[in-house]
């Protein structure tokens, strides 16, 4: 193998290494983006569940307040007076 061929081989090996490094960098960026998206999806799911729970509690409280049972209304009035 001549020195010119050795230089060409070394040049090709260097280029191959550079391309492999770029591939690894791109894969790392893709991994970071995927993680970020999954993290945001999880946050949205938690917020949605929290909102659903709050909506359920508010609905039940309204039903209780608007209920026709005078004993419940008396209990709520007691709670309101007690917490003042």
Q: DSSP states of 17-44 as a string?
A: HHHHHHHHHHHHHHHHHHHHHHHHHHHH
pLDDT at 68: 63
pTM of the complete model: 0.56
Q: Do residues 76 and 65 touch, judged by C-beta distance below 8 A? A: yes
Query: Per-residue pLDDT tens for 41-61?
Result: 999 999 999 999 998 888 888
């Amino acid at each position: 193998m001549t020195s010119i061929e050795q230089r060409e081989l070394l040049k090709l090996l260097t280029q191959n290494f550079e391309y492999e490094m770029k591939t690894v960098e791109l894969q790392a960026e893709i991994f970071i983006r995927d993680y970020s998206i999954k993290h945001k999806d999880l946050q949205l799911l938690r917020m949605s569940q929290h909102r659903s729970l709050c909506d359920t509690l508010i609905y039940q409280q309204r039903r209780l307040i608007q209920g026709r049972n005078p004993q419940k209304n008396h209990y709520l009035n007691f709670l309101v007076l007690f917490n003042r």
